[in-house]
Structure 1
Amino acid sequence: MKKLIITLLAISSCTLFTFAQNPSTREMDRINWMEFAEFVPEKINTVLLPTGTLEPHGVINNGADNTAPFAMAKDLADKLNALIAPTLNYGITGSMANYPGAFQISEEAYAPFIRDILKGLARNGFKNIIILNGHGGGQTAVLQQVAEKVSNELGVRTLVINWWTYASDVTMEVFKEDGGHAGLNETAYIQAIDPSLVHKERYNPNQATAYPQNKAWSAVPFPSSIGLYQEGQGYPNFDQKQADEYFRKVNDKVLKLIQDTIAKWELAGL
């Protein structure tokens, strides 16, 4: 009996030790401040910051640019031993700002706001600040510029990823054609996350317009909420199997980029 009690106590101690290796949640807005202090920066020094905006996306949700990077962060956080900062849901929307439900934050307001967020993450002890950006256009340039300045100023390491551009080869691998804004690839990624956000009953291929090549023309608002990267390619197909495959392969590619970048930072002693 005594041996049994000792064994049970040992198992209990091991269990508690195991739980102590990982936080109760990876989401910063759900973790308690005392638990945060137990893990950052001693056990966790990487943070994932999803950024996006609210704008039209064909037959998927207006917040697709937020839904995608947050889902990506949740999928990768354990593998990277990272926490997830709250998603920055408003961004520099650009030529689709006049569509219903869209929001436009000026660069003059966005740049100092994102700068203070990055500084706050650094102040809280994160060494690796990984921005998973869900929205392109002018927002990309601002994120890259601000991240570079904060890195040089505070000695932290920053990485800004536009997932759809970085995974363009995955789009070609899975779909055998190029995608687009709210096109084949982005619609598939959202469909893999939550099919209820995809309203294919509202889909009309005439909603799609190919982006102008070589800046041959411009229109504001952009005439379609689905923007194709190539003429005749990238129309949504709503194939769930392909959507799930695409989600997995995109995340795997982004994961490897982050892991390789951190490993090289460490190797260089930065």
Structure 2
Amino acid sequence: MKYTLFLFCLSLSCCVFAQSPTTREMDRINWMEFAEFVPGNINTVLLPTGTLEPHGVINNGADNTAPFAMAKAIAEDLNAMIAPTLNYGITGSMAAFPGAFEISEEAYAPFIRDILKGLAKNKFKNIIILNGHGGGQTAVLQKVAAEVANELGVRTLVINWWSFASDVTLEVFKEDGGHAGLNETAYIQAIDPTLVHKERYNTDQATAYPKPNTWSAVPFPSSIGLYQEGQGYPNFDEKQAMEYFEKVNTKVLKLIQETIRKWDLAGL
């Protein structure tokens, strides 16, 4: 009786274990295990995209660090895999700063297209781009993702997390944020405090972005760009950083879940 019960429990535990892969990261999973889960049990993939550019007193790769950490935080709840981060992007007006890289649109667009086509080839139905860098990169991602969706019959969603979560910034900090401002700095601080160099910070590193049709400078004069004059300076508050990180992830997770639910409801 005990032996039979033991075998039953062992069988049950194996079944439970098999419900999730040993890793959600596509560059860490074995090909045979991948085939056991995709697409039969997993049909959603998260693709973090970013670039290398200055970010005040946080790491040059913050636009990569943030969406990858976000993907890891929400992948289990979405039952999704995580594609390797696309670390180089269309940097734009901060490309002249030390350590920055600029990929041309002519090179970036076909590259991201082939990545999305590769994810579709690997039988993912829902391709979710967690974009960590704005500017011209956003328009390219949206255009290419829409084209691939229509061509291959997959479903794509592009999210600029900092813009989508602007209400969370106001809720947590009671003011607007900025590029490498208090919101982005807080998000990175919650991920890895060693990437935040508070001792290097001074307010002269920040400039408010110009209002439309007022002025334009290339390179942009500061590595911190404020969305509103006088708002968004980093405060390095650990408690607010964790609150912000968790609330942003929750908001992004709910958007993806609701979008997939409505795709399914519409039979798309």
**For this structure pair, what is the TM-score category when the shorter chain's length is used for normalisation?**
over 0.9
Which runs of structure 2 are paired with 1:185-204 in the superposition (5 Å)? 185-204=183-202
Partner of residue 78 from structure 1, selected from 62, 76, 79: 76
Is 1:168 paired with 2:145?
A: no
Partner of residue 111 from structure 1, selected from 109, 112, 118: 109
The answer for the alignment partner of 1:69 in structure 2 is: 67
Partner of residue 231 from structure 1, selected from 225, 229, 232: 229
Unmatched segments (≥5 aa) in structure 2: none
Partner of residue 26 from structure 2, selected from 25, 28, 33: 28
State the number of aligned residues. Answer: 268
AA of the residue aligned to 1:181: H
TM-score using structure 1 length: 0.99
TM-score using structure 2 length: 1.00
The answer for the alignment partner of 2:99 in structure 1 is: 101
Shift of 1:90: 0.2
Q: 2: distance between equivalents of 1:214 and 1:99?
A: 24
Q: 2: distance between equivalents of 1:19 and 1:221?
A: 52
AA of the residue aligned to 2:134: G
Unmatched segments (≥5 aa) in structure 1: none
AA of the residue aligned to 2:78: L
Partner of residue 262 from structure 1, selected from 250, 260, 263: 260
The answer for the alignment partner of 2:4 in structure 1 is: 6
Q: 2: distance between equivalents of 1:243 and 1:207?
A: 21
> 4+ residue runs of structure 1 moved beyond 6 angstroms?
none
Q: 1: distance between equivalents of 2:188 and 2:131?
A: 15
Shift of 1:4: 1.1
AA of the residue aligned to 2:67: P
AA of the residue aligned to 1:92: I
Shift of 1:8: 1.0
Deviations 1:128-166 (A, max 9, x none): 000000000000000000000000000000000000000
AA of the residue aligned to 1:190: I
Q: CA RMSD in A?
A: 0.4
